[in-house]
Structure 1
Amino acid sequence: RFNRVGASAYVHIVGIARINDLAIMGVIKTMERSATVAFSPTAPYLAAGTMAGAIDLSFSATASLEIFKLDYADPSQSIPLAGAAVQTSDRFHRLVWGTAGAETDLPLGILAGGLVDGTVNLWNPSKIVGAKTHDEGDGPANPLLCKLQKHTGAVKGLQFNPFSSNLLASGAADGELAIWDLANPSAPSLYPALKGASGPGNATAGEVTSLAWNRKVQHILASTSATGTTIVWDLKRQRPVISFTDPNLKTRCSCLAWNPEVATQLIVASDDDRCPTLQVWDLRNAVSPQRTLTCHTKGVLSVAWCPSDTSLLLSCGKDNRTLCWDTNAGEVVAEIPASSNWNFDVQWSPRTPGILGAASFDGKVSLYNLQNASA
């Protein structure tokens, strides 16, 4: 049947069943890729970058960035390419799509990729969409805007500031954090180093695994690490505001996300199979987590808080599951069908409420509709 989504799109729902009171969603779109993904914030496109650690059946070592056209009115499950693939220097840990430059000469904004080799690459998606080939030289047809070279380890944290679209934060396995100003995308500038975020004895104290800008206060940034420590940074003061770790569970942290509505609340997840938890923290009392969400049976690899309904949170992990939580009740309310391998990336569509993208190491990126599940 067809389900109304947003103001103008109809999405074909393949099937919905209820198992143990959880809504199990059928896929609406799918493609054969082991890739991390990013939805366009302004247009019906989905970008995909070859995921680090994934090997296809041909054992290919190549990496690429692709953009796909999304048409929810089309009942076909296939997602067509919007332009030729772009070969990249290495594989991706993170891929984000921002609106920087959208009002000038970058109508589709900027795609930023955090790569295994420690670089952050910036692309102009307008030069990928519709292109049949790509110029790899310095010509005007080359979609690569520039390579940001600051980190010496794989870039695992990457996010555009939701208030100032020209600001991009990156964090890497070398423990370093960087804030980039993309006002001039072909020659970005680097903000002064955050105090305690680099060098011997730095505050991050290990591999930065994830970072996120606060959704209410534009100069607040959080990062989490393999040591289990989460740090909240104040960019105005160029220093940490607070750091915390669970005193009872000193486990590796893999990802975090701020509550879109509550400025002091964030969720931190662990990819430790011995303690695959999601912890809700409130910075007004960061002695211990406010709530712990448990349902995953192996480590959690990605979380995403719904921008249009803050009671909903997505998580996915090494147990091959992607879950949708009611954060107020602390319960799982929906689940997509389990894959045959780790689910490593999950994203909400910023343009179409209820649509999410999920990626797994079984070589598939799929789109689902959770509107009926949360009803």
Structure 2
Amino acid sequence: MGTKSAFNRITLWASFLFVVILGFSRLSYGMFLPGIQRVIGGSYGQLGILGTVNFIGYLVGTLCLPPLISRFPDRKHVINRITCLLLGLTLIGSAFSDHFTGLGLWRFAIGLLSAFATVLVLSIAMDAVRPAERGAASGLIWLGGSAGILVTGLFAPFTIDPSHLQGWRYAWVIMGIFGVIAAFGFEFVTRKREAEKMPSQTESKSRDKENENVYRLLLNPKKLLFLIASYFFFGWGYIIYFTYLIPYLVSKGIPSLYAGLIWSGIGFAGLFNGWIGGKAIDRWPSGYTLASGLTLGTIGVCGVITNSMLFTVLGAAMIGLVSFITPPLMTTALLRRHVPHHAYAACLSIATAFFAAGQIIGPIVGGVAVERYGLQFGVASSAIFMAIAAAFAGLYGQQQRKLEIRDLPDSG
């Protein structure tokens, strides 16, 4: 069964799914926050808790997936198709929320399902791509998330403008319908390949043995610990920025159309980031490549501190261009290079759990900062954690030379 180039029908439909998995299901919440507040009520700190609930669901999903895959090693495609379909349907369901508690339950379910979908879609799609092009393929898939942000921003006049109180509901219904279509499309293009693949008993047994060593591999300071730590602090930092940026812009009196265009600008810049970042990690598969993007992203966040809307916008564009999609896609590609084939899904799931843990802490810390010191300080605080993520990525780059010498031949 041959592998494909980075750009193929499977990675294309995987990218469409990531429009939903990342851009619509997770990050649209920050964009719709002002509109949701007008209808449901609550302070930004309280509504930020629902962002935390979403990522608690995401964490639960990432922790549940490895044992689920171990229990049903030959059912990865079945679990994925059910998950992706349900994700679209839960987006539609969340649009009908009238109360804080109800919306929280929907956000939890969406987090759970998007965690499953993130790992499974990436794992299935990457299996179909030639090893030398997996960074580029990862970039193509993750740029779907940027496209989702771009589209979400275009909804702004209908979702955060006070004259369209129910606009966020209609937007989530449309997003959910797109998710259902994308789930069917991905199922169609992967069904033939799934039929060709006949897993052997030997594969299943070796997978169980490799899964036992996953934590030892990921949490070893001489191997992947610094990469995982970088991913954790990136999750902590970026989610503060994406949760409170739009409320900050609205509080400054920026018209909803312009706030939406700034949000879309992040997504548009991320389209280039997905492709460039994927190519870069294929050519320079190093923690230093990751650290450079995170450092520039830290500088971008600091644009908020200047009290200049121009620098805030330029900073947002920089984040979209070099550090929004870069860390997840580069972590995805680096893990694919340095872990055994059958342990990849479990390793990616656990790495994503650390990412999710950072995203759980982020909205809580950001919410406290917003309540005590205002929206500007809350948004700017994300720079602290982005900088820590960059430092750990640099440490991983330093450690990586030893890693490549000792372990690259063993991982194939």
TM-score tier after normalising by the smaller chain length: under 0.3
Q: Which structure shows the bigger proportion of residues in helix conformation?
A: 2
Structure with the bigger RCO (C-alpha within 8 Å, sep 6+) is 2
When normalised by structure 2's length, the TM-score is 0.26
